[in-house]
Structure 1
Amino acid sequence: MAKSLFIICFSIILSGCSVKKEIVPIGGSKADGTVRMGYTYGDKFGAFEVPVVDIERANELATKKCKTWGYEGAEAFGGKTENCGMSNGFACTRMNVAIEYQCIGGKSAQY
Structure 2
Amino acid sequence: MKNIIKTLVIPTLIFTSCTVKKDLYIIDGSKSDGTLTLATEYDAAFRVKIDMQKAKQNASEKCKAWGYKEADFFDTGVTQAIGAGRRIIYKVQCLD
TM range, normalised to the smaller chain?
A: 0.7 to 0.9
- Could you report, residue by residue, the CA deviation over 1:3-26 in whole angstroms, capped at 9, with x for unpaired residues? 8xx3x8367337421111121111
| Structure 2, unpaired ranges of 5+ | none
Q: Is the 8 A contact 2:16 2:46 kept in 1?
A: no
Instruction: State the 4+ residue runs in structure 1 displaced beyond 2 angstroms.
Output: 8-16
Counterpart residue number, 2:17: 16
Q: Match of 1:48, SS?
A: coil
Aligned length: 93
Counterpart residue number, 2:53: 56
Equivalent residue letter for 2:33 = D
The TM-score with structure 2 as length reference comes to 0.82
| Structure 1, unpaired ranges of 5+ | 87-92, 106-111
Q: Is the 8 A contact 2:59 2:92 kept in 1?
A: yes
Counterpart residue number, 1:69: 66
Cα distance, 1:97 vs structure 2: 1.1
Q: Is the 8 A contact 2:22 2:49 kept in 1?
A: yes
- Could you report, residue by residue, the CA deviation over 1:62-81 in whole angstroms, capped at 9, with x for unpaired residues? 00000011000101011212
Q: Match of 1:60, SS?
A: helix
Q: Is the 8 A contact 2:15 2:46 kept in 1?
A: no
Cα distance, 1:54 vs structure 2: 0.3
Counterpart residue number, 2:91: 100
Once the two structures are aligned, what percentage of the paired residues are identical?
30
Q: Which has the larger radius of gyration?
A: 1
Q: Is the 8 A contact 1:13 1:48 kept in 2?
A: no
